[in-house]
Amino acid sequence: MSIPNASMFLWHSFDARSLLPVNWASTVVQFALANATQRLIAPTSVTSREGEEIDSLITLTVGGQTVRQGLPWLFDLYETAFKDLAQRCTSEPLFVASDDRYGVNLNVQRGSEMRYEAHVDSNPVEGLLYATSHPEGTGGELVVSNNINTFGISTIDNNCSRIYPAAGHLVFFDARKHAHYVAPLRATDAIRVVVAMNFYAPSCPESARPADLNRHLGIE
Ligand SMILES: [Fe+2]
């Protein structure tokens, strides 16, 4: 038997559909498409893990204050049931963000030209609720390096874990050391929407969030 690689990426997944209201997925997708702000970002944040050949990427994001106003039930779940599930994934007490701007964001990809920036997280637990499904072969999977301290998508691809989004699945992980990005969608008319939620812990509090990150992500 081979010895498992201690650095291999670990994630937890729940089927959260029983916690969600009727028609939640189409509601979230329509809200995201109506409210997302497009930005051209340079991958220069302290959390960026792009290769040197990449000088800009397009992002489509709905900031947390807009989510709080338009989808208050989603913010409620973040602060209650989703937090309780996140807590089952770590022994440290978890806290939701006090700043709505990055507590809950909606990240959108449209068509085959976009992909989410390669980066590491600054928070100890990230929660992702998928609002759209992207089976293997259709693009849109989360690609996470199994090694730590890697830069660039080709290096990440060399040894990675791929998480294929399924609508209603809620995943949690600590990706502070494992660089990750979202693969482009294959179809030119495809749409991907994910609810991204930040949780914090005493050993990695909200106050340690990098100062440049809100501007970088376009959620100031
Ligand atoms: Fe991330």
Q: What separation in Å is there between the alpha carbon of 21 and the centre of ligand 1?
A: 26
CA of 119 to the centre of ligand 1 (A): 6
| Of the candidates 97, 100, 47, the residue with the CA atom closest to the CA atom of residue 69 | 100
* pLDDT at res. 41: 85
On the question of pLDDT at 1 being above 50, the answer is: no
How many CB atoms within 10 Å of residue 130?
A: 25
Distance 1 CA to ligand 1 centre (A): 32
What's the gap in Å between 180 CA and the centre of ligand 1?
6
Mean pLDDT of 29-51: 92
Decide if 130 contacts 191 (C-beta within 8 A). no
DSSP lists the bridge partners of residue 68 as: none
Sorting pLDDT into bands at 50, 70 and 90, what band is 219?
Answer: low
Residue with tokens 């204050």: 65
Q: How many angstroms is it from 42 CA to the middle of ligand 1? A: 16
CA of 23 to the centre of ligand 1 (A): 27
26 C-alpha to center of ligand 1: Å?
24
Q: Note the pLDDT tens digit of each residue in 130-153.
A: 999 999 999 999 999 999 999 999
pLDDT at 110: 96
What the chain holds in terms of domains, given with CATH numbers, is 11-201 (2.60.120.620)
- Centre of ligand 1 from the C-alpha of residue 22, in Å: 28
Protein residues within 5 Å, CB atom, of ion ligand 1: 121
Using the structure block, give the residue that is written with the tokens 């990240």: 107
- Report the chain's mean pLDDT, rounded to a whole number: 94
Q: Specify the DSSP class assigned to residue 185.
A: B
Q: What is the mean pLDDT of residues 155-181?
A: 97
The residue among 73 and 219 whose pLDDT is bigger is: 73
Question: For residue 4, what pLDDT is reported?
Answer: 57
Beta-carbon contacts of residue 207 (< 8 Å; ≥ 6 apart): none
Q: From ligand 1's centre to the CA of 69, what distance in Å?
A: 24
Q: Please state the rounded mean pLDDT for residues 117-129.
A: 96
Residue from 220, 142, 127 nearest 183 by CA: 142
User: On the CB side of 180, how many CA atoms lie within 13 Å of its CA?
Assistant: 24
Inter-residue contact 146 to 178 (CB < 8 Å): yes
Cβ count within 10 A of residue 189: 8
Q: What is the mean pLDDT of residues 94-115?
A: 96
Tell me the CA–centroid distance for residue 92 and ligand 1, in Å: 20
pTM of the entire structure? 0.94
Sort residue 44 into left (φ over 0), alpha (ψ -120 to 50) or beta.
Answer: alpha
Whether the predicted pLDDT of 212 surpasses 80: no
